Amino acid sequence: MIFNRRDFLKAMGAATASGALYGCAGGTRAGGHVVVVGGGFGGATAAKYLRKWSEGGVQVTLIERDAQFVSCPISNLILSGDKTLADVTVGYEGLKKWGVRVIHDDVTGIDAAKRTLRLARGGELSYDRLVLSPGVDFVYDQIPGLASPAAQGQILHAWKAGPQTVALGKQLADMKDGGVFAITIPKAPYRCPPGPYERASVVAGYFKAKKPKSKVLVLDANAEIISKKGLFTKAWSELYKDIIDYRPNSELRDVDVAGRSAVLEFDTVKADVLNVIPPQRAGAIAVRSGLKLINQRWVDIDWRSMEATGTPGIHVLGDATFSAPGMPKSGHMANQHAKLAAAAILNLLAGQPPNPEPLVMNTCYSFIDSQNAIHVASVHRYDADKKTLVPVDGAGGVSTARNELEFRYALGWAQNIWADMLT
C-alpha cells in the first residue's frame, strides 16, 4: 500500500489522540510519533528499537541525508586495501521492514515549542518526541588555509567514512616509496579517541609491506596518546620503530595546501600525503536549534533520558553529547545511548518515568595491522548523586597484548552492531 505524507500525518493525529487516553497505571502502551534525525549508529538504532519495543505502537520517521549508512569503524582498513567501501556500507531497507518511514533529506530548522521541524526540500513534520543524532561537524575556524571547500577537497579528513576514505586510500596508493604520510590529531574530545592511532598503525603496516622506505608522522595536539596508550606504544616500538614518528603537543595552526604542509607553532612540516582530522563539535542542527551547549560545542543532556537540558521533547544521542566522565565518542556508545533513549521515550509516551538506573557499556576495537587488533572496554552506570553516568569501579580495561583473535572479534562486532541498528 502506498502511504503518502497526508495519510501518515492523519494517522499520526489519531495515534496522538488515542495516546491521551493512556493513564499512569501499569500496562499502558506508548503511542505517538517520534522523528529521528540522523541515521548513524545512534539514530538508526533508536528508530529500530522504538518500533521493536513499542511493537509497532509508536510511529517513527527517520530523516537521513545519505542514501546508505557508511561505517567509520572498520573503514581504516580501506586505507591499507584490506577492505572496500562496499564492505562497510549498509542500506536502510531493513529499517523500512521495521515500519520506519525513511526520508532522505536535510532538516533546516526545529521549532521545539511547537514540536515541528522543517525539511530542506519543503514540508513540515510534527512530533511528540524528537531524537537528534547528528554526529559531529568539523570546526575549521582555527585552520585558515582549510577555510574553502576546495582546500578541504585536497587536504582530506576521511573522518566521516565515505568518498574521502576512498580518496585518501588512493593518495596513499599513489604516493612514492620513501614518501611521508602526516596525520594531525585535534585536542580531545573528538570522534573515536583511538581512531587516529589506529589509522597511523594501519598505514604503517601498509608501508612496511608495500613501501618500506616511507614514514608516518603523527602530529598530536594532545600531550600523549589518549587511548590504549601502552598497547599502541608497544606496537609502534616493536613493529614500526623506523616508520612511525610520534610528536605530542603538536597542535595544527594552519595548512599550506599547495605545499602540503602542516603549520605548527614552531615548525612547518611537509608531507607527501597530509591528513588533517579537524577539531569537532556537535552537528550543526543541534547547534542551530538553540540547545544548551557545554564549551560551545557539545549538547548538555539528562543521562536518564538523553533529553536536552532545558529543551523538553528533544533527545540527543552519540558524539554530539557532552560526554559523561570516561565515556568515549564511539559508534558503540551511540548505539547504547539510542537504546537508553528509546526505553525512556517509550516510558514517557506511556506516562511513565524513565528507568532511574540506566546502564551502558562500550567496546572499541582498534587494528594494529592486517592481522592484529586490541580493545578497550568500559561499563557506565547512572549515579543519582552525581546526576551523570560514571564508570563502574573495577570493570573495563584493555587487551593484555595485540592478538589475532581480537582482529576477528572486531569484524564480528561490526557485523552484529550493523545488524543491531539496521536489520
Partner 1 sequence: MKLPHLVAALCLAVTAGGVAAQDPNLARNLAATCANCHGTDGKAAAGAGMEALAGADKEKLLQKIREFKSGVRPATIMQQIAKGYTDAQLELIASYFAAQR
Which part of the chain contacts partner 1 (CB under 8 A), choosing from 161-169, 266-274, 318-326, 356-364? 356-364
Using CB under 8 A, pick the residue from 37, 49, 58, 280 that binds partner 1: 49
Residue 93: CB minimum distance to partner 1, A = 16
Decide if 366 contacts 374 (C-beta within 8 A): yes
**Considering beta carbons, is residue 27 or 149 the nearer one to partner 1?**
27
Segment lying near partner 1 (by CB under 8 A), choices 136-144, 162-170, 224-232, 338-346: 338-346
Is 289 a binder of partner 1 (CB under 8 A)? no
Residue-wise burial string across 216-237, b where 16 or more C-beta atoms lie within 10 A, e elsewhere:
bbbbbbbeebbbbeebbeebbe
Q: Does 383 bind partner 1 (CB under 8 A)?
A: no
Toward partner 1, which CB reaches closer, 101 or 339?
A: 339
User: Under the criterion CB under 8 A, does residue 371 sit at the interface with partner 1?
Assistant: no
C-alpha angle with apex 372: 368 to 377, nearest 5 degrees?
80
- CA 194 to CA 366: how far, in whole Å? 7
DSSP codes of every residue in 339-391: HHHHHHHHHHHTT-PPPSS-EEEEEEEEESSSS-EEEEEEEEEEETTTTEEEE
CA separation for the pair 158, 184 (Å, rounded)? 12
Buried-exposed string 344-373: b where 16+ CB fall within 10 A, e elsewhere: bbbbbbbebebeeebebebbbbbbbbeebb
Q: Please state the closest distance from residue 337 (CB atom) to partner 1, in A.
A: 11
Q: Is 180 in the site for partner 1 (CB under 8 A)?
A: no
Burial of residue 383, with CB atoms counted within 10 A of its CB: 0-12 exposed, 13-18 middle, 19 or more buried? middle
CB of 333 to partner 1, least distance (A): 10
Q: Tell which positions 384-423 bind partner 1, by CB under 8 A.
A: 392, 394-397, 399, 403, 405-406, 408-409, 411-413, 415-417, 419-420
Contact string 106-145 vs partner 1 (x = CB under 8 A): ---------x------------x-----------------
User: Interface with partner 1 by CB under 8 A: which range of 186-194, 280-288, 317-325, 376-384?
Assistant: 376-384
* Cell numbers standing for residue 366: 582498534
Side-chain-facing half-sphere of 419: CA atoms under 13 Å: 6
For the chain, how big is the Rg over CA atoms in Å?
22
In whole angstroms, the minimum distance from the beta carbon of 214 to partner 1 comes to 32
Three-state DSSP class for 85? Answer: helix
Task: Quote the least distance from Cβ 78 to partner 1, whole Å.
Answer: 20
* Angle at CA of residue 319, ends 331 and 145, nearest 5°: 110
Site membership for partner 1, residue 35 (CB under 8 A): no
Taking the C-alpha atoms of residue 288 and residue 240, their distance in angstroms, rounded to an integer, is 44
Residue from the set 248, 357, 371, 386 that interacts with partner 1 by CB under 8 A: 357
In residues, how long is the chain? 423
Q: How far is the CB of 295 from partner 1 (least distance, A)?
A: 28
310 binds partner 1 (CB under 8 A): no
Residue 218 binds partner 1, judged by CB under 8 A:
no
Pairing mode, if any, of strands 314-316 and 129-132?
parallel
CA angle 51, 52, 54 (to 5 degrees): 65
Beta carbon nearer to partner 1, 249 or 415: 415
Find the shortest distance in angstroms from Cβ 30 to partner 1.
10
305 lines the binding site for partner 1 (CB under 8 A): no
The residues, any chain, with a CB within 8 Å of residue 158's CB and separated by 6 or more, are 75, 79, 164, 165, 167, 168, 275
Interacting residues with partner 1 (CB under 8 A): 16, 19-20, 22-24, 26, 31-32, 49, 52-53, 115, 128, 312-313, 332, 335-336, 339-340, 343, 347-349, 351-361, 363, 375, 377-381, 392, 394-397, 399, 403, 405-406, 408-409, 411-413, 415-417, 419-420
